[in-house]
Amino acid sequence: MIAEAKVGSEDLNLCFEKLMMVAAGNSGEGVKMEGMVITEWKDIPMELLLRIVSLVDDRTAIVASGVCSGWRDAICLGLTQLCLSWCRKNMNNLVLSLAPKFTKLQTLILRQENPQLEDNAVETIANFCHDLQDLDLSKSFKLSDRSLYALAHGCPNLTKLNISGCLSFSDEAVEYLTNFCRKLKILNLCGCVKAATDRALQAIGRNCNMLQSLNLGWCENVGDLGVMSLAYGCPDLRCLDLCGCVLITDDSVIALANECLHLRSLGLYYCRNITDRAMYSLAHSRVKNKPSMWQSMKGRYDEEGLRSLNISQCTALTPSAVQALCDTFPALHTCSGRHSLVMSGCLNLTSVHCVCAVQAHCTMNSIPHTAH
């Protein structure tokens, strides 16, 4: 393992050669700086070292941090982003080794194909990486509520957290986390069936008022109470994925339409309790809730409002309601290559067309026909 093995002279030479190639633009010559040519790794100034490290892969940066105490201090204090998703084995031990050194990390990506991380690794991150803003723990099946409790106390500056697929987290732990991590703007709870409940969403709405993006895909315990609490508490919400949240009804969408004036993307796949009332509420909200806002934007009119909507398998919807929505938001497209309005599985909506189809029809009609 990179962090625990002793760095041999061969590794150092390879690491140095790679750093030099990056610094010299792969020319194979030494790096020139202020009249001097750098050909030995000990000669690299710290400022240049950090600049080079920012360009190489994370494995090389980790190896470089083991060259000498000077490099270790410079890299550990200067590196703010780190991705360890390449680590197929022993990621837990690698995190335990690196977290106490890389204390200035702001972004840490620990996405896994095979579950490796355990609670002690996340607790170590929370104990040392207090500047962390972006953390990806997706598919960490081994983690328990201990991890969220640790993050709540150790990483209060989190603005982006991905815990999708972490099946063991509870809604109680999510509620606790939001009491401390109030700066969250992007939160991914996709597949977190136990964690994403109305109780958790009420806590998010109460504590995370800056939230802009939330993924609740396939969280089947989410209901209207939770989504309505979210709508009232998070007015800056831009993207919300409710795909597979089978309990929600029109009341959820109506609350979002009325309260979340910046909503750009909404996923309602398989939400079969959604009816035309929800579609009309979204369409009417554009004018009803913010006439002065639209007036002041003028040229940006088409840029605002819904730009992505998934209503696949929402079989209760009728063409007239969905067409009204299409007419209201020109950024919603049904045409080939620009499917921002997804309606698969809704055979009764085949007559719905976006603004492109209307424009094409008008263009065809304006072309004079030549008599034969």
Helix residue ranges, H only, the chain? 9-23, 46-53, 58-64, 69-78, 91-98, 119-128, 145-154, 171-180, 198-207, 224-233, 250-259, 276-288, 291-297, 319-328, 355-366
Q: Which residues contact 33 (CB under 8 A, 6 or more apart)?
A: 45, 48
pLDDT at res. 288: 64
Per-residue pLDDT of the chain (372 residues; tens, 9 = 90+): 444 334 444 555 666 566 666 665 655 455 554 554 555 656 677 787 887 788 788 998 998 888 778 888 889 989 999 999 999 999 999 999 999 999 999 999 999 989 999 999 999 999 999 999 999 999 999 999 999 999 999 999 999 999 999 999 999 999 999 999 999 999 999 999 999 999 999 999 999 999 999 999 999 999 999 999 999 999 999 999 999 999 999 999 999 999 999 999 999 999 999 999 999 999 999 876 555 554 554 444 445 799 999 999 999 999 999 999 999 999 999 998 888 999 999 999 999 999 886 555 455 555 555 554
Q: Which residues contact 371 (CB under 8 A, 6 or more apart)?
A: none
Q: Which CATH architecture best describes the domain 80-283+307-359?
A: Alpha-Beta Horseshoe (3.80)
pTM (2 decimals)?
0.86
**Position 96, amino acid:** L
Please tell me whether residue 352 adopts helix, strand or coil conformation: coil
* C-alpha dihedral sign at 272, 278, 279, 280: positive
Would you state the structure tokens that stand for residue 12, as one six-digit string?
């150092």
The Cα–Cα gap between 149 and 125 comes to 12
Neighbour-count burial for 216-252, b at 16+ CB within 10 Å, e otherwise? bbbbebbbbbbbbbbbbbbeebbbbbbbbbbbbbbbb
* C-alpha dihedral sign at 90, 95, 101, 104: positive
**Position 313, amino acid:** Q
Rounded to whole angstroms, the maximal C-alpha distance in the chain is 87
pLDDT at res. 334: 93
Would you state the structure tokens that stand for residue 58, as one six-digit string?
């994370």
Phi-psi map region of 163: left, alpha, beta (phi>0 left; psi -120 to 50 alpha): alpha
pLDDT at res. 356: 87
